[in-house]
Amino acid sequence: MSTNTTTKWKALADATIQRLQENSYPGRGIVIGLTPDATRYVQVYWIMGRSENSRNRVFIPEENGFLRTEAADPAKLTDPSLIIYYPLRHEGSAHIVTNGDQTDTIWEAIKSGGTFEGALATRTYEPDPPNFTPRISGIVDLNDAQNSYKLSILKSNENDESQTKRQYFHYEQAIAGYGHFISTYVGDGNPLPSFAGEPQVAPLFDDEQETARFYWDLLDGDNKISLLVKTIRIEDGETTLTVVNRPAEGGA
C-alpha cells in the first residue's frame, strides 16, 4: 500500500473516531474489516441504551459460537421485544452480525441456500415509532469469492412508515488495519435521527482485546451497555470472541 493511500485511510478513520467521540448516542454499531496483519476478519458490535429497560442487558456467548442478549436483571425486564435477540450467528463459513432478530432471518436463509440480501428483503426497520430504528446487518463469508464482507441498513424513508430504504454495501477487498462502521443513529434526539450516508472507515488492531478496549473507551460512558469483538481467521475459519459488559449498577 502506498504512503498516500495509507495516509488517506488513516485520515478517514481519524475523522470517524472524532465523530464517535463527540457523539453521545450513535445507538447500536457495527464495524467489519481486516486486522493489520491481514490474517483475520474482525466484527465489532455494541449496544447502547437510554431507558432502564434498554440498559438492562448483557451479552451472553454460547458454546456453539453464537451470542445472545439477556436481561441482566430479569425482574426489571418490561419489554423483551427488540432488545432480546441473537447479534451473532454463523452457518458454515458465513458469519452474521446484526442489531436485531434479523440475525435469525439471515441465518435461516443461508442454511436454506438463500442470500444475505434476499433475507433482508423480507424485513423492514424496527416498529418503534417515532424513531423507526434502522436494522443494521453485516456478514463475512469466507466462501464468497467476490466480497470480503457486506453491510446493510434498512430504514424508514424520512419517517414515512409506508416506505423502507434498503441499502447494501459490498466490499470486494478489505483494507488491512481498517473496517467500515455503521450505526443506527447519527446522534441523540427526539425522534432519534437515523444513520445517513455510506459506512465510514474505522481502525482495527491485531489484538482483539485492544480493539475491544479502543471502542469501549470511545463510547459514551452513560449510554454504553455491551460490546463484542469477533475474529475469523481467513486460513482456516477459526474464530475468537471477546465480550465486554457494563458492570451492574453499584458494581465495580
Domain of 161: which CATH number?
3.60.20.20
Q: What is the pLDDT of residue 247?
A: 87
Q: Note whether residue 198 is domain-resident.
A: yes
- Please tell me the distance from the alpha carbon of residue 81 to that of residue 71, in angstroms, as a whole number: 12
Higher pLDDT, 164 or 53: 164
- Please tell me the distance from the alpha carbon of residue 65 to that of residue 229, in angstroms, as a whole number: 12
Per-residue pLDDT reduced to its tens digit, 63-88: 999 999 999 988 888 888 888 999 99
- Tell me how many domains the chain contains: 1
Structural domain of residue 101, as residue ranges? 1-245
Q: What is the pLDDT of residue 160?
A: 87
State what percent of residues in the chain have pLDDT above 90. 85
Q: What is the pLDDT of residue 233?
A: 98
Task: Assess whether pLDDT exceeds 50 at residue 250.
Answer: no
pLDDT band, residue 219 (cuts 50/70/90): very high
Higher pLDDT, 80 or 89: 89
Q: Note whether residue 251 is domain-resident.
A: no
State what percent of residues in the chain have pLDDT above 70. 98
Q: Note whether residue 122 is domain-resident.
A: yes
- Please tell me the distance from the alpha carbon of residue 180 to that of residue 174, in angstroms, as a whole number: 9
Q: Note whether residue 139 is domain-resident.
A: yes
Per-residue pLDDT reduced to its tens digit, 147-182: 999 999 999 998 888 899 999 999 999 999 999 999
pLDDT band, residue 249 (cuts 50/70/90): low
Q: Note whether residue 250 is domain-resident.
A: no
Q: Note whether residue 24 is domain-resident.
A: yes
Q: Omega into 191 within 30° of 0, i.e. cis?
A: yes
Task: Assess whether pLDDT exceeds 60 at residue 252.
Answer: no
Q: Note whether residue 71 is domain-resident.
A: yes
Sheet of strand 178-183, all strands in order from the earlier edge strand to the far edge: 200-203, 178-183, 29-34, 40-48, 224-233, 239-245
Per-residue pLDDT reduced to its tens digit, 220-244: 999 999 999 999 999 999 999 999 9
Q: Could you give the dihedral angle defined by the CA atoms of residues 93, 97, 98 and 101, in that order, rounded to the nearest 10 degrees?
A: 60
Q: What is the pLDDT of residue 161?
A: 87
Query: What predicted TM-score, i.e. pTM, was given to this entire model?
Result: 0.95
Cell numbers standing for residue 203: 481502525
Higher pLDDT, 246 or 5: 246
Nearest to 141 by CA among 44, 35, 61, 32: 32
Q: What is the pLDDT of residue 251?
A: 41
Q: Note whether residue 252 is domain-resident.
A: no
Task: Assess whether pLDDT exceeds 90 at residue 2.
Answer: no
Higher pLDDT, 186 or 3: 186
Cell numbers standing for residue 121: 428483503
